[in-house]
């Protein structure tokens, strides 16, 4: 799977992580408001964050890269979040994910980033099924899934908790039918 070096939208740059992102990533991974409803571990040490970041960076040049990227404001290039995608172990779906710093929420940045990421996944990588799992308390993510054309399928057990499962197929995306 090819991980893009850089994707751009009107307001954002979505790019691979670099060693310069260590401080931001460490703060990000230790912010309960960011990580609370994700599967990421909270309270990582600086050394753990550095090892995680190096693993991401090293993976970009392998046959099995980790598709994790920084979301940056185009105007300043400051990192405001993270996004990516990964194969789902128990199905043919590819899961997308994102997290934003709290002060950048409710401005359409997540929607903009996810739309660009989906465009790349379908038009460049030829992925047929893209899904997102949302914690039941994460109403904003469920609303985002609907905005980007995903349809709720069911509630599933995801890592020992309930999750709302949303799906977008390549066929639906290419038809332009967003609802």
List the structure tokens of 83.
Answer: 């996004």
User: Can you tell me which residue has the tokens 């980007």?
Assistant: 148
Q: What is the CATH number of domain 6-128?
A: 3.40.630.30
pLDDT over 50 (residue 179) = no
The token pair that represents 145 in the structure block? 């899934």
- Whether 106 has a pLDDT exceeding 70, the answer reads yes
Whether the model pTM is above 0.75: yes
Q: What are phi and psi of 114, to 5 degrees?
A: -65, -40
For β-strands 12-16 and 151-157, DSSP reports them as: unpaired
Statement: residue 43 has pLDDT above 70: no
Q: Where are the alpha helices (DSSP H) in the chain?
A: 22-29, 32-35, 46-59, 109-123, 139-147, 170-175
Number of Cβ within a 10 Å radius of residue 151: 14
Q: Which whole number is the average pLDDT over 128-152? A: 90
Q: What is the CA radius of gyration of the chain?
A: 16
What pLDDT digit, counting tens, does each position of 146-167 carry? 999 999 888 776 666 778 889 9
Q: Would you say 163 and 157 are in contact if contact means Cβ atoms under 8 Å apart?
A: yes
């Amino acid at each position: 799977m090819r991980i893009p070096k850089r994707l751009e939208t009107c307001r954002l740059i979505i790019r691979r992580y670099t060693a310069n992102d260590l401080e931001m990533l460490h703060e990000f991974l230790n912010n309960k408001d960011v990580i609370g409803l994700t599967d990421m571990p909270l309270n990582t040490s600086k050394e753990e964050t550095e090892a995680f970041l190096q693993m991401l960076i090293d993976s970009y040049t392998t046959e099995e890269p980790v598709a994790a990227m920084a979301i940056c404001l185009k105007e300043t290039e400051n990192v405001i979040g993270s996004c990516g995608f990964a194969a789902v172990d128990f199905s043919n779906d590819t899961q997308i994910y994102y997290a934003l710093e709290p002060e950048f929420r409710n401005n359409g940045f997540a929607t903009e980033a996810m739309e660009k990421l989906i465009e790349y996944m379908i038009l460049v990588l030829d992925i047929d099924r893209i899904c997102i799992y949302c914690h039941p308390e994460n109403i904003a993510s469920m609303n985002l899934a609907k905005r980007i054309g995903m349809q709720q399928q069911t509630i599933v057990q995801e890592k020992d908790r309930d999750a709302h499962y949303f799906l977008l197929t390549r066929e639906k995306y290419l038809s332009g039918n967003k609802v």
